[in-house]
Structure 1
Amino acid sequence: MTSEHASPAPDARTVRRAVAASAIGNATEWFDYGVYAVSVAYITHNFFPGPAGTLLALSTFAFSFLIRPLGGMVWGPLGDRFGRKRVLALTILLMAGATCAIGLLPTYSVLGIAAPILLTLLRAVQGFSTGGEYGGAATFMAEYAPDRRRGFFGSFLEFGTLAGFALGSLIVLLGETFIGTAAMNEWGWRVPFLLAAPLGLIGLYLRTRLAETPIFEELQAKGQAEESATTGLKDLVLKYWPSMLTLTGLVIALNVVNYTLLTYMPTYLETIAGLPSQMVLTIMFVAQFVMMLAIPFFGALSDRVGRKPLWYGSLIGLFVMAIPMFMLIGQGSWWALLAFGVLGLLYIPQLATISATFPAMFPAHVRYAGFAITYNVATSLFGGTAPLYNQAGIAAFGNPLFPAFTMMLACVVGLVAVRFMRETRGASLRGTGLPGADQPAARAPRGQLQHK
């Protein structure tokens, strides 16, 4: 970019710090969600006693996702107006505070119906904060990353996501191992939720020590950040609805698989496959850890071959393997780990490229809002509700393969969306117009980072 308002490209050390701050903050956010996912049995025991307890606990999980679009509509425009960093500092405080408060809640035996009501309200706060967290963190990381390595650096945001889930599984597994199920049901379930407080403070510290992204600083210098406060949402809906529609299809594919594997699977393995809780937690931790190790590889691969080939391969692979792998899960024992690992590795090419693909679908002045609103609406309807409708579907039809069918349907939707997705490999995120902004910058010499 040759404008007098252009900011210099950040140096390598600054990029690494920005990546670390985004990833660790995101890990904190998703640790909070991951802990709830592997604690459904404890939540049911303490807040939803009765035959419908598991469905009610999963409904509370789903409810937080219905709040996420509201968070996206509030935090997204604020992030485009006042900056990515400020909003991300507020969202991590809200998430960590709400999660810690869950760990302090009196149970149903103490408060009666007030206990699950308070739990639901705190889950709503979590959903509201996450509505701004994820889109903001992805935008922040994408705008800091160099154009030709955005896939690699951006993959570390999802490395943080999986680290949060894996840490939640590990802590609950350690609790089950050392103090036992009875103690975990009585008081031990609180410990992982209380750990959110120090983790949130660490994430907040790292985020507040970074400057705003160079791209947002350019918007401020040209007065376009102020303009987005009044015209951003109107421009988003009227001019960029094709990008919103395409992103919706991609998010449906991404998050039906994501929340089936990462949040519903512990419940499925324990209640449907009949595995003991310690084995379930071990499977979740090992599989998530392997996925963590694989994700930077696929991020770097997307910088070489493009995002679309990885998405096509992932979606087709999941469609073909969903039913065989869920049948293998039904064999129990360590066959479940193998099956979950296969599905997880097939899913990773999508997850690894979110930060490199989704923010590039919108110009800078509506990027945070476009990503946050579209992503969270689609996730709230089809992703976060996956544990609930999968459990209800199995109960209604008596078919343990029901989650495989939902994943296959989501993959079909995703394949249609990828057909209309523009390739973002090498694209610059600078500028305020979409046409041409997401075309590969192919003329830069190999190994040289291009900053327009």
Structure 2
Amino acid sequence: MTDSAAAEEHTVDRNDRLVILASSVGTVIEWYDFYLYGSLAAIITVQFFSGVNETTGYIFALMAFAAGFAVRPFGAVFFGRLGDLWGRKNTFLVTMLLMGLSTFVVGLLPSYAAIGVAAPAILIAMRLVQGLALGGEYGGAATYVAEHAPPGKRGFYTSFIQITATAGLMLSLLVILGVRTAVGEDAFKDWGWRIPFLVSILLLGVSLWIRLKLAESPAFARMKAEGKGSRTPLKDSFAKWPNLKLVLLALVGLTAGQAVVWYTGQFYALFFLEKTLKVDGPLANILIAVALLLATPFFVFWGWLSDKVGRKPIILVGCLLAALTYFPLFHALTGAANPQLAAATATAPVSVYADPADCALQFDPIGKTVFDSSCDLAKSWLAKAGVTYANIAAPAGSTAEVRIGDVVVTSFDGAALSRPDFAARKTEWEAGLGAALAAAGYPARADSALVNKPLVVAILFLLVMYVTMVYGPIAAALVEMFPTNIRYTSMSLPYHIGNGWFGGFLPTTAFAMVAATGNIYYGLWYPVVVALVTVVVGFLFIRDRKDVDIHD
């Protein structure tokens, strides 16, 4: 019987449904645990990084978020090797246990105010455990489902795994929103933020119970029975050029672009709404959650369509559309979410007129630098306020000026002042700058009543639609590139380098780029360039393998 005939004859039976359900539910819980941190980045900043200035604290919080992504490739290598030696099912049971317990610990962790630097240190340690666990989870779940899927339906079957990342994010947002509503915003910022982390222990118990009902992957079981397993999956995956070449192509030609589109459309969009556009946290969560809910079915649609037309064209078109439209979409998002800010930016543009030698990068790697030059004072306040500004070079030795339309607010040099005098002068100066910006129409917060909610949801929906295009077929595409005996190891590494490094560092990199340049849209250059590189490399060098037999 041909593969196509087998596909037509096969229907989704009870065992298939259990495989998809158990793998998907467990992976949803892992993503829920992992993304709670990202969804609460603003509160995490206050709780665990309060010993530094606000801009640096937020970048540190995003770096701690990214730390979990940084170690994902190492988790992929470690657990991928175990999965190819020990089995798919056993390996992702271990990863789930590690993820659930480390998330629970974050919910119990004292804040910076209570135990000082030990708090962020332990927090980052838990993020590293989460990253290692997630590095082993995804490859196991995707491989397990794909090896159960009949020929011609791998894209459809694995698309349910692809839903899990967005579903986990959406679940985290809904739980956060529910707790915020139940306890109130003040209580939530004080202690209520811990509840979503603590709830994860219950979800862990449920998902472990479901996964224990599964048997091993038939492809892995057959491979073991025939004695064809690899004894050295790391060497066979990465020390032999034919397979290493496929790993590199999978990274640059598929997962790097897919990753930046994923994180821009979901996480960076949330950061942009809440941090840059100053939309109230609960409202931002609701808007993102609605867009995710509307777009989620398209993961399955694109997975199903990839069984018909191939994985490559859908993924690359998604990357290309994202790269071409990000700038206009985020400009439109500003106008819809904070129309007062958009209007003020157009009618009273802000510029910083300063001696370039007087200006430092608005990031403090040790967390204790005092920005006391006239230029640094101006830029640090504007970065914190989310105000776009242009940089204009002034003569050497000039005192920096903030120009708001025709209004000029002169900064001051605090280097020669005592600390108490500097603090008092800074408070007075910032109040004056804030008043000048307010008079020019710049809002301190987005007015929730003025947010064009349908338009914001429509823009977010389009951003998530790109996510569904690049992410829906990616698991099937990666599974089909590698042989069974080293599949778990080989596919996990490019996926987690792409998503862990290219994608996971996107919020941190983009926000630092914005803080450095003063342009709230400048960070978008990062995903645009990476997505375009993937389009070129993928088009030239990736071969679509939707019809290959993955059981060989």
TM-score, length of structure 2 as denominator length: 0.74
Deviations 1:45-90 (A, max 9, x none): 1111142221111010111111112211210111000100000000
User: Of the candidates 71, 76, 79, which is equivalent to residue 75 of structure 1?
Assistant: 79
The corresponding residue for 2:546 is 425
1:174 aligns with 2:174: no
| Identity, % of aligned positions | 33
Alignment of 1:21-420 (within 5 A): 21-49=22-50, 50=52, 51=54, 52-225=56-229, 228-230=230-232, 232-238=234-240, 239-249=242-252, 250-331=254-335, 332=337, 333=451, 334=453, 335-419=455-539, 420=541
Q: Tell me, in whole angstroms, the C-alpha distance in 2 between the residues paired with 1:423 and 1:218.
A: 26
Gaps of 5+ in 1: 3-8, 432-452
Q: Tell me, in whole angstroms, the C-alpha distance in 2 between the residues paired with 1:232 and 1:266.
A: 37
Letter in 2 for 1:234: D
Q: Tell me, in whole angstroms, the C-alpha distance in 2 between the residues paired with 1:27 and 1:218.
A: 28
Q: Tell me, in whole angstroms, the C-alpha distance in 1 between the residues paired with 2:467 and 2:233.
A: 37
Gaps of 5+ in 2: 3-9, 338-450
Letter in 2 for 1:364: T
- Contact kept, 8 Å, 2:23 with 2:145, in 1: the verdict is yes
- Contact kept, 8 Å, 2:177 with 2:286, in 1: the verdict is yes
- Contact kept, 8 Å, 2:237 with 2:490, in 1: the verdict is no
Q: How far 1:44 moved relative to its partner?
A: 1.0
- Contact kept, 8 Å, 2:258 with 2:319, in 1: the verdict is no
- Contact kept, 8 Å, 1:247 with 1:417, in 2: the verdict is no
Secondary structure of 1:212's aligned partner: coil
Q: Tell me, in whole angstroms, the C-alpha distance in 2 between the residues paired with 1:203 and 1:329.
A: 37
Greater Rg, structure 1 or structure 2?
2
Q: Tell me, in whole angstroms, the C-alpha distance in 2 between the residues paired with 1:88 and 1:10.
A: 26
Secondary structure of 1:358's aligned partner: helix
Q: How far 1:418 moved relative to its partner?
A: 2.1
Stretch deviating more after TM superposition (361-370 or 330-339):
330-339
Q: Tell me, in whole angstroms, the C-alpha distance in 1 between the residues paired with 2:154 and 2:237.
A: 26
- Contact kept, 8 Å, 1:251 with 1:375, in 2: the verdict is yes
TM-score, length of structure 1 as denominator length: 0.90
Stretch deviating more after TM superposition (92-101 or 147-156):
147-156
Q: Tell me, in whole angstroms, the C-alpha distance in 1 between the residues paired with 2:150 and 2:528.
A: 35
Task: Count residues in correspondence.
Answer: 423
Deviations 1:176-232 (A, max 9, x none): 22322211111110111111111112221222211111100111012122xx13355
- Contact kept, 8 Å, 1:232 with 1:365, in 2: the verdict is no
1:14 aligns with 2:15: yes
Distance change in 2, residues 1:160/1:379 (3 Å):
closer
Secondary structure of 2:223's aligned partner: helix
Distance change in 2, residues 1:309/1:234 (3 Å):
closer
Deviations 1:277-326 (A, max 9, x none): 12111111111111212221121111122212212321221122111101
Q: How far 1:267 moved relative to its partner?
A: 2.1
Distance change in 2, residues 1:364/1:117 (3 Å):
same
Distance change in 2, residues 1:326/1:231 (3 Å):
closer
Q: Tell me, in whole angstroms, the C-alpha distance in 2 between the residues paired with 1:243 and 1:235.
A: 9
Structure 1 runs of 4+ with >6 Å offset: none
Q: Tell me, in whole angstroms, the C-alpha distance in 2 between the residues paired with 1:315 and 1:21.
A: 30
- More helix by percentage: 1
Q: Tell me, in whole angstroms, the C-alpha distance in 1 between the residues paired with 2:171 and 2:530.
A: 28
Distance change in 2, residues 1:347/1:377 (3 Å):
closer
Q: How far 1:11 moved relative to its partner?
A: 7.2
- Contact kept, 8 Å, 1:77 with 1:229, in 2: the verdict is no
Secondary structure of 2:110's aligned partner: coil
